[in-house]
Amino acid sequence: MTGNNHDIQRDDRRCRHCERQSGECAVRCRDCDGWLCEDCAGTKTIECGCGNTVCDDCARTCNECGSRMCGDCAYYCEHCEHSLCEDCGYRCRMCDDRLCSDCQEYCEQCDERYCPYCYERHACANTQDPCYRDPYEGRPVREPFTFGLEIEVDGNHDTDMLRNHRLIAGWCPDGSLHHDGSLEYQSEPMTMSQLTEIRRLVERIATDTDNTLSGGHMHISRTGRQTPARWYWALEALDGTQCEALNMRHMTDTRWCELIHGDYCGKDTAINDTHRHTIEFRTFGPWHHDTAGRLDAAVHYMHAMWRFFQKFPVPKLKTRDIRAMSRVAATQAINDTNATTAGRRRI
């Protein structure tokens, strides 16, 4: 065999396979520098696609397609170290490690491949689409009020505690949260009887950030009498002290929850009317251990106003009546919550 990469020696060399003198037509392995006689070179070497000739012992075999190559042309799975040719294997979408088929993890949601480490940390792995349960199933009621929370947690926190809780239906990353470990959780639709349970869960939420970028949107059940315009006048009537006690932020931080009459669509409004079964209130601030004490008041206020609106067909309420009722409902909810909290502390 001849070629640019073959070192032809006229001096006698001992063949590394048959141990005979290799003679004039000796072939030298590109990887180990061992000599092969003409006979052994024909059966004990491979010519790589790059032109290098290597002996069988030095040739690498692709773990995927079985093609053989020299050491210079071989790649390796960076997790199991199996050999790969240039055309086989995958790259981790996050860290760019080269991977064999056995070590790559495929995500159907984003149609990307990851190494085992990155797969557990990429966005889709932190996603559980909610499958909501009807809390009134099997026991129909005349006016089924429900509320639900979107709990945004900005930063590292106890994810297992939240994911494994029976009132958490799903979770996903949120583009507005930028710290490592951040997630948004969606609660199940809840009745008033479940308020204590969800508050106790919120009391246990702690992060390694100040959560200033988080929100705590609340959804309430939609009916024909629950209109965004009615709710606009209810929120507009509250003063700053009441808003703070209810964990509402539309008077102080309006970037994601501006309260504008007639604007009830999208992710930067206080009232979002685009959902089929609920009305979303984006005015609420984050829910965690520092704000859990306001959750009871917030939900009781929303429940009181919901029941008030249910009593009157849409044309039958005047703006001044809505505003007056809103202030009364807020004061009552805040005072009752403060009294209950004080009672719990004495126990």
Given its phi and psi angles, is residue 223 left (phi above 0), alpha (psi -120 to 50 degrees) or beta?
Answer: beta
> Quick check: do 1-58 and 68-125 share a fold?
yes
> 1-58 has which CATH code?
3.30.40
Q: Quick check: pTM over 0.85?
A: no
**Topology of domain 68-125, CATH:** Herpes Virus-1 (3.30.40)
Query: Where do the domains of the chain lie?
Result: 1-58, 68-125, 147-346
Confidence of residue 24 (pLDDT cuts 50, 70, 90): low
Annotate 136-156 with b (16+ C-beta within 10 A) or e (fewer).
eeeeeeeeebbbbbbbbbbbe
Q: What confidence tens digit (pLDDT) does each residue in 108-132 have? A: 877 889 998 888 777 777 788 899 9
- Comparing 180 with 347, the larger pLDDT belongs to 180
Confidence of residue 219 (pLDDT cuts 50, 70, 90): very high
C-beta of residue 223 within 8 angstroms of C-beta of residue 310: yes
**What is the structure's pLDDT at 180?**
80
Q: What is the mean pLDDT of residues 270-296?
A: 96
Q: What confidence tens digit (pLDDT) does each residue in 125-171 have? A: 778 889 999 999 988 888 899 999 999 999 889 999 999 999 999 99
Q: DSSP 3-state assignment of 220?
A: strand
The H-assigned helical ranges of the chain are: 38-43, 116-119, 159-163, 195-203, 228-236, 240-245, 295-310, 319-346
**What is the structure's pLDDT at 347?**
61
- What is the Cα 209 distance to its own chain's centre? 18
**What is the structure's pLDDT at 188?**
98
